[in-house]
Chains A and B, each alone.
Chain A
Amino acid sequence: MSQPRQMPGVARSPVGRLAVDWIACSGRGLCAELVPERIGLDEWGYPIIAAEPVTGDLLPHARRAVAACPKLALRLQPS
Chain B
Amino acid sequence: MSLVAQTVAGSIVSGAIYGLVGTGFALLFRASKVLSFAQGGFMLLGAFLFYSLEEHHHQPFLLAVLSTVVVVAALSGLVYVIVFARVAAREAFATSVATIGLVGVLQAGVSIKYGTAPLTLPDVVSAHAYRILGAVVTTADFVTVAMAAVAVGVLLAMLRFSPLGLRMTAVADNVSLSVHLGVSAVRVATAAWVLAGATAALAGIAFSLQSAVDPIGVANVGLLAFPAIILGGLDSVGGALLGGLLLAGLQNTVQATIGSGWVDVISFALMLAFLFFRPSGLFGKAAAVRL
A, B co-complexed: no
